[in-house]
Structure 1
């Protein structure tokens, strides 16, 4: 009679329990098919909102119940992508900014408390079938000389890529509005995680990127032209079409014209929500994707433009609600 091998059984159980959560986290694999973004083997209607301070916002990160409430609200408004930043340590007075509001220590190691929060957000977003677009570095911080040295930046990118390997509902955006060493960082990411989709925001509004990085990246996320060019709702769809035709890959209108103050690239005069709606509709018609940009983070708590929660609330003011109600009806209007 054969004896039961408890050691083998125990080893099998440990391996099974380790693999199971990794497999669960891997659900949501993002790929590129021509000029489309796919998720789990089918087209994904990539539709985002700027939530740069998500990792550092105390209301959003109060507990699982609070996060779920907000994620469900975003979902009701047709939003399935959160664009969040690893660096929120600039000195511009944005809501929730602070010197320690960054994923990175000066030596390029990761801050464990912020990494834990990021992973929690990613997991709970995945439960809502949502994607995280993670901007690794921010020009706003870079301009104020809040930046890592080259070896430290390389260490940060490599370590973060390793840490997020199991989480497949994440795309990396190397920079917000910068092009410093984009190809170097892309190579590091791909050496660790060849399947991770990588993009970049190359510069300020209207900067569509250089050929070298546009050819190398998996998909494109430029900050399209804003109100300073005039009828941006007519010009931007042409920019999206140009990039699609030239580089044969998906294009996201990542930080488009918006309402708000004239600071930080905002309009010099009061826009209409229908300016945004027309632009979004035309970008959809062109086969592009959008991330809704806004002014709900550019001042401190107590300013009328900032929701009391510091979270980009779709219902904070009539302007945002008008645009986001249109976005929520994307299946009605998008072919």
Structure 2
């Protein structure tokens, strides 16, 4: 009888060891929201920090780094994105260099970034024939994309950085065959993040939902709140992901999205004066359904970092998180732009240096 008991115990232990080997490694970074502030591991971000008399604790200083897992599945256009030194595009090199650069971003005080499952325009604005999507036509996940995403999220978790993760991008959503495929893609993405154990991820359902290029109605302003509610309904081990969606530049969010969202995303493209930025923030907080909740700019291509007043500083003065959007203009070198593919993920251009210098001044550096 004793022998049988020992055998049962041994089988139980072996079963536990084998099952444990397939569990995701424990994660260390948890993002939550209290009122208008973001908290990481139970403490407000930049705890105790102020800048020019303005509180910054609870904010996300972020940058639009959406191409971290980019690939082009169209062999006809893939050649457009070759590296200067090799002439060839390499998605694994892109992600590896992204991950390597994250330490330097964090050392300057950046505590967040936006990455997008379907990227963004690899030429700055607009989408053409290239095919960049981690989803098969029915919304199932492509393993090679998710393997690259895991590298990014693991490093962000280790650095205690918050990831704003977009799911869809206009000009790529048409690669999903129908509305059910869109819903499948949301379900599969959110369940993957939760089952992998990540709690440092904020979901952005789609980038700029009001852009007319979106094909599927459920991704457009009148119905996108349905997908926000879907994300909120998915739980794993008692945890769900915080979620929102964004609009095009200088657009005030609609009430249905504000009511459904955990935080608000606005974009500063076209907000070419600080007065316009102040008005955008003020009017966003007047939308029906607004209650104390974080407001985040996670895309703005207005810089003027050398000026005493710019969109970044005005956002901070109004207790709004701000995000840098940089792309390579015509004739500029490889070092420019974080959205243009191939990407130099380092801080190697004057524009990038200007942004990160101001981040370091505001935050005091590594936090």
If the length of structure 1 is used for normalisation, what is the TM-score?
A: 0.80
Cα distance between partner residues in 2 of 1:96 and 1:124: 29
Is 1:56 the counterpart of 2:70 in the alignment? yes
Q: Which runs of 5+ in 1 are unaligned?
A: 260-271
Instruction: Give 3-state SS (helix, strand or coil) of 1:54's partner.
Output: coil
Is 1:290 the counterpart of 2:299 in the alignment? no
Instruction: Give 3-state SS (helix, strand or coil) of 1:315's partner.
Output: coil
**Which of the residues 236, 247, 251 maps onto 2:295?**
251
**Which of the residues 261, 275, 281 maps onto 1:234?**
275
Is 1:77 the counterpart of 2:108 in the alignment? yes
Structure 1 position 162, deviation (Å): 1.0
Q: For 1:250-329, what aligned pairs fall within 5 Å after superposition?
A: 250-258=294-302, 272-274=304-306, 278-296=310-328, 305-306=336-337, 310-316=343-349, 318-329=350-361
Is 1:124 the counterpart of 2:155 in the alignment? yes
Is 1:206 the counterpart of 2:206 in the alignment? no
Q: Indicate the residue corresponding to 1:195 in structure 2.
A: 240
| Kept in 1: contact 2:31–2:162 (CA 8 A) | no
Q: For 1:83-122, what aligned pairs fall within 5 Å after superposition?
A: 83-88=114-119, 99-122=130-153
Going from structure 1 to structure 2, the CA distance change for 1:304 and 1:315 (only over 3 Å counts) comes to: closer
Structure 1 position 75, deviation (Å): 1.2
Is 1:150 the counterpart of 2:183 in the alignment? no
Going from structure 1 to structure 2, the CA distance change for 1:281 and 1:148 (only over 3 Å counts) comes to: farther
Going from structure 1 to structure 2, the CA distance change for 1:320 and 1:12 (only over 3 Å counts) comes to: closer
| Kept in 2: contact 1:258–1:294 (CA 8 A) | no
Q: Indicate the residue corresponding to 2:33 in structure 1.
A: 32
| Kept in 2: contact 1:28–1:129 (CA 8 A) | yes
Instruction: Give 3-state SS (helix, strand or coil) of 2:310's partner.
Output: helix
Cα distance between partner residues in 1 of 2:331 and 2:120: 14
Structure 1 position 236, deviation (Å): 1.4
Going from structure 1 to structure 2, the CA distance change for 1:293 and 1:35 (only over 3 Å counts) comes to: same
Q: Indicate the residue corresponding to 2:165 in structure 1.
A: 134
Structure 1 position 277, deviation (Å): 5.8
If the length of structure 2 is used for normalisation, what is the TM-score?
A: 0.73
| Kept in 1: contact 2:138–2:176 (CA 8 A) | no
Q: Which runs of 5+ in 2 are unaligned?
A: 46-58, 72-88, 211-219
Going from structure 1 to structure 2, the CA distance change for 1:157 and 1:65 (only over 3 Å counts) comes to: closer
Cα distance between partner residues in 1 of 2:295 and 2:29: 20
Structure showing the higher helix proportion among its residues: 1
RMSD: 3.3
Instruction: Give 3-state SS (helix, strand or coil) of 2:39's partner.
Output: strand
Is 1:161 the counterpart of 2:205 in the alignment? no
Q: Indicate the residue corresponding to 2:228 in structure 1.
A: 186
Cα distance between partner residues in 2 of 1:292 and 1:107: 33
Cα distance between partner residues in 1 of 2:150 and 2:115: 12
Q: Indicate the residue corresponding to 1:46 in structure 2.
A: 60
Instruction: Give 3-state SS (helix, strand or coil) of 2:346's partner.
Output: coil
